[in-house]
Every structure is written in C-alpha cells, then in structure tokens.
Amino acid sequence: MCGIVAGIAERNVQDILLEGLRRLEYRGYDSAGLAVLDEQNQLHRRRRVGKVAELGQALAETPLIGKAGIAHTRWATHGSPTELNAHPHISSGRVAIVHNGIIENHAPLRAELKALGYNFESETDTEVAAHRIAYYLDRGDDLLQAVQHVVAELEGAYALAVIACDDPGRVVACRNGPPLVVGFGIGEHFVASDVQALLPVTQRFSFLENGEVVDLRRDEVAIYDREGDRVMREIRVSGLTAGAIDRGQYRHFMQKEIFEQPFAISETLEGRVIEDRPLSPGVLGVAAEALLPQIEAVQIVACGTSYHAGMIARYWMEEIANIPCQVEVASEYRYRRHVVLPNSLFLTLSQSGETADTLAAVQASRDEHYLARLAICNVPESSLVRESELVLLTHAGPEIGVASTKAFTTQLVALMQVVLLLAQSRGADAAVMRRLRGELLQLPGLVEKALALDPLITRVAERYVERGHALFLGRGAFYPVAMEGALKLKEISYIHAEAYPAGELKHGPLALVDADMPVIAVAPNNDMLEKLKSNLEEVRARGGELFVFAEPGVALENGPGMNVIEVPGGSGMLAPVLMTVPLQLLAYHTAVFKGTDVDQPRNLAKSVTVE
Ligand code: G6P
C-alpha cells in the first residue's frame, strides 16, 4: 500500500517518476505527490488529492525541473487523504521524504521532535521521519548516515526514499517490510515499490532485503545492511516489458483480466501438465521430490481472494489426496498459537507475494514444526517467493484491477497441481490422476465458453443495479466460490453481499429474504444437487428472487422468481474454477452499470503491505 518511486539521473526525472506512479497506482490512489531537487539544490514539490492523473495535470501546467526526485501515491493510514497529508513530506525546507508502511513509534518521536522545536504540518506518521533526518543532518551526518541513524530508531514496517538539499548528489532509500526494488540504468538509478514502475527505464533490478539501506548516485549504487556493512547484490534482468500493463481494447483492466483467463490458465499449465504423464515434483523446487512423500497434513494461509482459493483447495486436498488440510486467513494465523500436525506443509497463496500478514505468517511458521514452506505466487521477484523453500508460480501476468480475477483462477490451477503431486506421491489411482490431468488441460477451452455468457450476464447485471444487498449460496467447494462471488460484488459495486453455505440458510439469513433480496446460487450437477434444490425452494417460498448459475442437467426451469443461467459442463473437479467466471462477470457489469471505479474501488488497494 502506497507506491514509491524515486531516482537520480542526468535528465529531468519528473516524467519518469510520474509514469512510475501511474504504474504503481494499484497500491493506493487517494492522493499523490512528487518532489525534485533543482540545479540550485532547492526542493520543489507538487501534491494533489485524488488520482495520479490530478497530479499529472498539475505538473503539466507547472512542471518541476530537477534531476533527482521522489514520488508517491498514497493509501491513507495516518491522517485523512488531504493535500497536507499527501507525500512527499518536507522538513525544514531541506529534506523531502516518501514513505510506505506504518511507523509504530511515531507518537513518542513526534513528542520529542516537537520539544526540539520542529513544526508538524500533517497528521501522518511519516513526518516524524522527515524531521528526524533533518535533525541528524544538523548534527553533521550526510544523508546516508542520517537515514541509517533514523532507521535504527524506527519501529514498524516501512520503505522510505529521501532527498536533501544538503546532500544533493544522492537519493537514499531503505526497506523494512514493504518491498523496494533498485533499478539500474546507464548514468541513472532508481528505486520503486515494484518492478513494473521502472520498466519504461530499465529491466535490470536488485531487490532490497529488510533492514537494508541503498545509496543511489548517478554513477553508483551502494547497498548496506543493518550493521552498515556494504552488501553485494546480484542484478537480475526482468523478462517483463513496459507494454504488459496496457488496457488494450478493454474498458477496464478487470475486464481485460477476466478475458485473459483462458491464456493465463494455459500458461500456468504449460510444461507442467501432460495428460499421459505424472507431474514432476521438480516444478516445486529441487527439495520437493524428497519432501512430498513425507507430507501428512497441509496448512494453507492467505488473505482475501487468495484465501478463497485456499478454501476450495481444501476440498480437493482431502478428497483427491486424502490429506488433512486446514485453511486460515493470515491476519488470524499470525497471532495465535497452533497445534501443528506432524509432517505438515505450510502453503501460502498470494498474487503479489507482498501481503504483510501473509509474510508475517511465514515468519511465524519458522518457529513451528513445519516440514517446508510452499508459496503459490504470481510475482517471481516477490518477498514471499524469496522466503519460501518451495515455489509454484502462477503465470497470470500482471494483474492491475484491485479485484483479483485471473490470479484467483490460476491459483486454483496451481493448487490442483499441488494436490495431484501429493496424491501421486501417496500412490493414488493412475486412472484418476490421468482423468484429473485431462480436466486441467480442458479448462482453458471451457473458461473460453463460460466467457461467452458475457452478453447474457450483462442483462442480468442490469437488474441488480438498484439493489442494496445480495445473498450468495453454494455447497461444498462451491461455498467458497459463492464467497468469492460476494467479495467481487461488494468490492467493486459497493452492494452489500454475503455468502452462506446453502444448508445454513435456515439458521438465520432466510430472515432477510424478500422480493428485494436477490439470491445468487451456484448449482453444480453433483450429488448435493437435490439438497441445494431444497434450499432454493426455501428462498422461493418466501418470495425471494433466485439467480442460479447451473451446470447442464441440473433441471431447473426459468419461471417467476427463478432465473437460470447455464454454465458449460464437463469440467469435473474443476467446476469451481469455471463457476467463478460468471460471478466475476456479474460483479463487473453491475459495477459498470453503477458507474463505480471498477479498477480502483474506494478505500481498497491491490497490494496490502501494512497490517
Ligand atoms: C488485497 C487485494 C485482493 C487480494 C488480497 C490478498 O485485499 O485487494 O485482491 O486478494 O489483497 O492479496 P495477495 O496479493 O496476497 O493475493
């Protein structure tokens, strides 16, 4: 949350930083700002409330000229989204700073700095770091030393980038929690919250570790560890290109990402799943072959949409691999004591690989007796990938829309691969394994067919726009599908939506059902169908309006209070993936009709790097 981009070059940096902010806007978008040091070593700053485009407009009218600069797009934690609270923050007219994260001991530091005569302009925790750096510069530190001193005092999670009039030839940045990547150009160097921000200027990157400080100069980059010792870090060349985040022909990134799912799923299967051959354990890493047969239990930990993927996988894990599986949200897992079953695998799911709670849960797991940590993640360079012994990447490509779509379905595809690997290692029936591999390989084509429901779902969505609430129902592995459908709808259309296991309806939510409460149900043609149908009758009998996403053969008739939308069949165990697609489309079109900001819904951010 919050995006940082900063750099020092032989050319003016404003446009580079502004483009970086546009590419980081998924991290926060309530205000944005940029500051540069000019040729006379004076600081200039522009800040605006709202989207990066507002800042872009202000800079187009009055550009900032300077060859060293810092920039920020904010997701407010301390202090409301006003111009005064927007970053960069400046101390004493000479130090400018941008910050991502939370400085937990800001209150005592603020009191101390006030007593020393520093004036606070904002309500942010960030401003204490700006004043504290100015304080150390006054005592004779250079900018690098000042930042190193301040880092030793700060508690919490933060990434900072700083420029100062006193020491104009450098940008100093540091990381303790939120990610920071260093971009290497020719005669210019940058830092940013992610690789995407810097792709227009470089493809060569190094990744800062927690506790490290980086000193960027035009001709040199030096990284220091917590003790102040210089660290040598390899430079990696990214395979990504700047164009990868274009919206193309689509109206929104979310729409594009929904329609990219057949390709993203194919990419996640590519080279790993072949119908007539068992999966190779090597896809998880070299240690996997020896580890897999030892695994007797799985603990899945994740947040948001990734957590829903984990919930679906639990059904697969127990049914196909016969392995006990627990799933928990990371923010809960990290703060409680657990009984870890013998020979357990710790499995994390994360699109970004930077979610603070998930990373903290991984840290917590190190003190517990897990056999290994496996991460399923979409970002190869992420902290989560670097901190896990085993990794399975989803090849979804960059996901920009805050509401996760293709990351979710590719996570499910990766999870099924893990389930198959575990089942194989326990001697599962070869014919069943072959059938499931076949189902995986057919999935891209079936998702393509589900996407063809788009015009029909657009018409259904039109009827939702005026509704304030919705109930989603599912049973078994389709209960988390219902949860994901409800989450999508509330995230982007702001319609209050709740999901229930259909059997729970009569234990409370049925009281809410009347003609104004649409009930969306997911109806696979499986052995729970008759039970689900009884639940649907309970809704109908109370005048509720049903929208049922049904597999062929479910034999539900359209009629008063009953709208049936047939979803392609033939996906077998992977039906939860297929059923998700129409729910994504429903949320998307409802939001478009409502006129909300689909890609950047209010109050949310794509990458949640604070607790
Ligand atoms: C945020 C995003 C969600 C995402 C969740 C977990 O809430 O808005 O789309 O599911 O974080 O993110 P992760 O990157 O760990 O999957």
Spell out the SS3 assignment of 116-162. Answer: CCCCCCCCCCHHHHHHHHHHHHHCCCCHHHHHHHHHHHCCEEEEEEE
Chain segment 118-160, per-residue pLDDT in tens: 999 999 999 999 999 999 999 999 999 999 999 999 999 899 9
- On the question of pLDDT at 245 being above 80, the answer is no
- On the question of pLDDT at 610 being above 80, the answer is no
Instruction: Tell me which residue has its CA closest to atom 13 in ligand 1.
Output: 350
Q: Which two tokens stand for residue 442?
A: 């057919």
Let me know if residue 138 belongs to a domain: yes
Let me know if residue 41 belongs to a domain: yes
DSSP letter (8 states) at residue 279: P
Chain segment 410-440, per-residue pLDDT in tens: 999 999 999 999 999 999 999 999 999 999 9
Does one domain contain both 289 and 428?
yes
Residue 95: helix, strand or coil by DSSP? strand
Q: Using 50, 70 and 90 to split pLDDT, how confident is the model at 324?
A: very high
Residue 606 annotated in active site: yes
Does one domain contain both 236 and 260?
no
The rounded Å distance from CA 607 to ligand 1 centre is 6
Chain segment 568-587, per-residue pLDDT in tens: 999 999 999 999 999 999 99
The rounded Å distance from CA 304 to ligand 1 centre is 5
The rounded Å distance from CA 234 to ligand 1 centre is 29
Within a 10 A sphere around the Cβ of 337, how many other Cβ atoms? 5
- On the question of pLDDT at 544 being above 90, the answer is no
Answer whether 352 contacts ligand 1 (Cβ < 6 A): yes
Chain segment 185-201, per-residue pLDDT in tens: 999 999 999 999 999 99
Q: How far is CA 99 from the centre of its chain?
A: 19
Does one domain contain both 87 and 122?
yes
* Residue 166: domain span: 3-245
The pLDDT mean for the chain works out to 94
Does one domain contain both 307 and 358?
yes
Q: Which among 67, 256, 490, 606 is annotated as catalytic? A: 606
Does one domain contain both 137 and 69?
yes
Distance CA 352, CA 406 (A): 13
Select from 425, 451, 477 the last residue of a domain: 451
Assess contact for 21 and 55: CB atoms under 8 A: yes
Q: Using 50, 70 and 90 to split pLDDT, how confident is the model at 605?
A: confident
Answer whether 405 contacts ligand 1 (Cβ < 6 A): no
Let me know if residue 304 belongs to a domain: yes
Answer whether 402 contacts ligand 1 (Cβ < 6 A): yes
DSSP letter (8 states) at residue 318: I
CATH label of the domain that carries residue 332: 3.40.50.10490
3-state secondary structure 513-568: CCCCCEEEEEECCCCCHHHHHHHHHHHHCCCCEEEEEECCCCCCCCECCEEEEECC
Let me know if residue 477 belongs to a domain: yes
One DSSP character per residue, 49-64 reads ES-HHHHHHHHHHS--
Residue type, 224: Y
Does one domain contain both 211 and 263?
no
Provide, rounded to the nearest whole percent, the portion of the chain with pLDDT above 90.
Answer: 84
Instruction: Tell me which residue has its CA closest to atom 8 in ligand 1.
Output: 606
Q: Which two tokens stand for residue 599?
A: 């890609």
Instruction: Tell me which residue has its CA closest to atom 7 in ligand 1.
Output: 304
Beta carbons within 8 Å of 398's beta carbon, 6+ residues apart: 196, 240, 244, 245
The rounded Å distance from CA 402 to ligand 1 centre is 8
Domains of the chain: total: 3
The rounded Å distance from CA 382 to ligand 1 centre is 14
Dihedral pair phi/psi, residue 93, rounded to 5°: 70, 5
Q: Which among 2, 165, 325, 377 is annotated as catalytic? A: 2
78, containing H or E segment: none
Chain segment 443-499, per-residue pLDDT in tens: 999 999 999 999 999 999 998 888 899 999 999 999 999 999 999 999 999 999 999
Does one domain contain both 254 and 241?
no
- On the question of pLDDT at 216 being above 90, the answer is yes
pLDDT of residue 244: 59
Does one domain contain both 293 and 405?
yes
Residue type, 427: G
pLDDT of residue 484: 98
- Mutating to test ligand 1, I would choose from 253, 311, 352 the residue with most ligand atoms within 8 A of its C-beta, which is 352
The rounded Å distance from CA 303 to ligand 1 centre is 6
Q: Using 50, 70 and 90 to split pLDDT, how confident is the model at 537?
A: confident
Let me know if residue 602 belongs to a domain: no
Q: Is the dihedral of CA 357, 29, 588, 408 positive or negative?
A: negative
- Range from 240-244, 324-328, 570-574 carrying the lowest mean pLDDT: 240-244
Let me know if residue 579 belongs to a domain: yes
Let me know if residue 611 belongs to a domain: no
Answer whether 606 contacts ligand 1 (Cβ < 6 A): yes
Q: Using 50, 70 and 90 to split pLDDT, how confident is the model at 592?
A: very high
Answer whether 604 contacts ligand 1 (Cβ < 6 A): yes
Distance CA 597, CA 75 (A): 16
CATH label of the domain that carries residue 151: 3.60.20.10
Instruction: Tell me which residue has its CA closest to atom 15 in ligand 1.
Output: 350
Distance between the two ends of the chain, CA-based, in angstroms?
10
Let me know if residue 362 belongs to a domain: yes
Answer whether 85 contacts ligand 1 (Cβ < 6 A): no
Does one domain contain both 307 and 213?
no
Per-residue burial over 65-88, b = 16 or more CB atoms within 10 Å of its CB, e = otherwise: ebbbbbbbbbbbbebeeeeebbbb
Average pLDDT estimate for 204-222: 96
Instruction: Tell me which residue has its CA closest to atom 5 in ligand 1.
Output: 304
pLDDT of residue 505: 87
- Range from 31-40, 73-82, 123-132 carrying the lowest mean pLDDT: 73-82
Tell me the HSE value of 410 on the side-chain side, using a 13 A CA sphere. 32
Answer whether 305 contacts ligand 1 (Cβ < 6 A): yes
Does one domain contain both 402 and 295?
yes
pLDDT of residue 319: 97
Chain segment 223-239, per-residue pLDDT in tens: 999 999 999 999 999 88
The rounded Å distance from CA 570 to ligand 1 centre is 30
The rounded Å distance from CA 118 to ligand 1 centre is 38
Instruction: Tell me which residue has its CA closest to atom 4 in ligand 1.
Output: 304
- Mutating to test ligand 1, I would choose from 26, 253, 347, 351 the residue with most ligand atoms within 8 A of its C-beta, which is 351
Q: How far is CA 296 from the centre of its chain?
A: 29
Does one domain contain both 395 and 350?
yes
Select from 410, 435, 451 the last residue of a domain: 451
Q: Which of 417, 435, 438 is nearest to 321 (CA)?
A: 417
Residue type, 200: P
Atom of ligand 1 nearest to the CA of 305: 10
Q: Which of 23, 9, 143 is nearest to 68 (CA)?
A: 9
Atom of ligand 1 nearest to the CA of 407: 16
Distance CA 568, CA 585 (A): 15
Tell me the HSE value of 443 on the side-chain side, using a 13 A CA sphere. 35
Answer whether 351 contacts ligand 1 (Cβ < 6 A): yes
Average pLDDT estimate for 523-549: 90
Distance CA 252, CA 178 (A): 27
Select from 451, 468, 497 the last residue of a domain: 451
Beta bridge partners of 498: 471
Dihedral pair phi/psi, residue 51, rounded to 5°: -70, 165
Average pLDDT estimate for 331-359: 94
Does one domain contain both 97 and 236?
yes
Residue 449 annotated in active site: no
Q: Which two tokens stand for residue 23?
A: 């590419």
- On the question of pLDDT at 396 being above 80, the answer is yes
